[in-house]
Chains A and B, each alone.
Chain A
Amino acid sequence: MTLTVTDLGVARGGIPVLEGVSFALAPGKALILRGSNGIGKTTLLRTVAGLQPPLKGRVDGAEDQIAYAAHSDGLKPTLTVAENLIFWASVFGRNGIEQALDGFDLQTLRDRQAGALSAGQKRRLGLSRMLVTGRPIWIMDEPTVSLDKTSVAMFANAVRAHLGQGGSALIATHIDLGLEAEVLDVGPYKAKPPEIDDFDGGFL
Chain B
Amino acid sequence: MIALLLRDLKLAFRAGGGFGLGLAFFLIVTVMVPFSVGPQSELLARIAPGVLWLGALLACLLSLDRLLALDWEDGSLDLLATAPLPLESTVTIKALAHWITTGLPLVMAAPVLGVLLNLPVQGFQWLVISLLLGTPALSVIGTFGAALTVGLKRGGLLMSLLVMPLYVPTLIFGSEVARRGAEGMAVQTPLLLLAGISAASIALLPFASAAVLRVNLR
Contacts and interface: CB of A to CB of B under 8 A. Distances in A.
B10 A79 contact: yes
B165 interface: no
Interface stretch (B25-33, B76-84, B191-199): B76-84
Interface stretch (A22-30, A69-77, A97-105, A151-159): A69-77
A51 B81 contact: yes
A53 B214 CA distance: 10
A79 B9 CA distance: 12
Given A64-B84, A78-B11, A91-B4, A52 B75 contact: no
Interface in B149-181: none
Nearest to B75: A72
A46 B82 CA distance: 10
Contacts of A71: 75
A167 B210 CA distance: 30
B75 A74 contact: yes
Given A51-B217, A87-B3, A92 B10 contact: no
Interface in B1-24: 2-4, 7, 10-11, 14-17
Q: Tell me whether chain B's interface is mostly helix, strand or loop, or mixed.
A: helix
A50 B3 contact: no
A50 B78 CA distance: 10
A52 B215 CA distance: 8
Contact of B74 (A73, A87, A90, A91): A73
Give the size range of B's interface with the partner: 20 to 34
Nearest to B13: A78
Residue from A49, A70, A88, A91 having most chain B Cβ neighbours under 10 A? A91
A42 to B, nearest CB: 11
B97 to A, nearest CB: 13
Contact of B83 (A72, A78, A91): A91
B85 interface: yes
A67 B71 CA distance: 18
A90 B3 contact: yes
A74 B78 contact: yes
A70 B76 CA distance: 10
Nearest to A90: B3
Contacts of B85: 91
Contacts of B83: 91-92
A64 B14 CA distance: 32
B76 A74 contact: yes
Given A71-B75, A73-B74, A78-B17, A91 B80 contact: yes
Contacts of A83: 7, 10
Contacts of B78: 46, 51, 68, 70, 72, 74
Interface of A: 46, 49-53, 64, 66-68, 70-76, 78-79, 83, 86-88, 90-93, 129
